[in-house]
Amino acid sequence: MQNTDETLHPAVISEVMLNFAQRRGIDRQTCLLGTGVSDASLARGDGLITRTQEMRLIENLMLALPDTGASGFELGLQYSLATFGVWGFALRTCKTLRDAIVLGIRYLPLSTAYCRITLCEDQHTFGVMFDADSIPPHLRQFLLERDMATAINLVREITLHGVDFTAVEFFGVPEVSPEVVKGLCRVAPVFNAPTNRILVSREDAGKAFPGYEPALTRMLEQQCRQRMVAVDNTGITGKVRQKLLGDMGLGATLDDMASELALSSRSLRRKLEQEGSSYRELVEEERRQLALQLLDNTNMKIEEVAAHLGYTDAGGFVRAFKRWMHCAPSEYRK
């Protein structure tokens, strides 16, 4: 999912930038100038600010360091799992690194990422790609390096520093030195690569972590979903999600949803793409979440669950569930 200009971000994440600035002799008011953000809103655990406000804060930070420059990569290394609250805790409780990355991307607006982040994998590697094209040019390199450094830091923390990166690649030449990246990842970065991406081996990505508790992971993911309702409520994605979970139901077609929102199907598809989503992805995500809840907490037959999720037959639901969870619904329930 992609952030739009008025996507709401957790305000407490901005504290990391303010602390980063203060350690370099820049006071908070200089960073907050013109943002409309108050110390009181930052102090609230559930406070939210818009992307526009946060970008102004970043601009202030960069302008306040004209001589030495503001290192996006250095700033990204200040973020930890604890910074992101329930989103970070949910990542830490996943069964594998692969599961953590998939979950992280699903609820990406709860993080500080500005890049469009997507999965990439082949026969031997697994990782993520970073697309910074939607970021304003004067902030693009800074935020790209911040997002990549944050991702590296979170992967190291999730795996307790037990993963070997197979590649760290930058499109173009970043401001961070190769020595810094190699010291963190134990692999020399590649500059002027075709894309920006971070890779690990597929074997490492699929290793199960000790102490995995599926019930805890599901509880934290549910909290992420609830948090997303507040974060998503300004965009078309949030409106579609509310309709799917409300009066229209998960069986609604794209055409049905477009008509309900007084849009053409083409316009709805385009607006969702602009927010980094698609109608199919939203329906799949909500079906998956509701399926897990129904299988965990009810005795409904598989056919009844399928109907409740808007499937015309149980076979379609079973195939989808196997794609989501790599097992049949009956196996999952056992």
pLDDT digits (tens, 9 = 90+) for 238-290: 778 777 876 688 888 999 999 988 899 999 998 888 777 789 988 888 888 78
Residue 89 has a pLDDT of 93
Task: Sketch out the chain's domains with CATH numbers.
Answer: 8-205 (3.90.1520), 235-333 (1.10.10.60)
The CA distance from 11 to 23, in Å, is: 20
Residue 295 has a pLDDT of 84
Alpha helices for the chain (secondary structure H): 14-22, 28-32, 39-43, 51-63, 72-76, 86-92, 97-106, 137-158, 178-185, 202-205, 214-232, 236-245, 254-260, 265-274, 279-297, 302-308, 314-325, 329-333
Residue 4 has a pLDDT of 47
Residue 247 has a pLDDT of 67
DSSP state of 265: H
Residue 144 has a pLDDT of 95
The CA distance from 135 to 143, in Å, is: 8
Q: Evaluate if pTM is beyond 0.85.
A: no
Beta strand extents in 52-114 (DSSP E only): none
Q: Which residues pair with 128 in a beta bridge?
A: 119, 198
Residue 166 has a pLDDT of 96
- How many degrees, rounded to 5, is the angle at CA 89 between CA 119 and CA 105? 20
The radius of gyration computed from the CA coordinates of the chain, to the nearest angstrom, equals 21
In this prediction, the residues of the chain whose per-residue pLDDT falls under 50 are 1-5
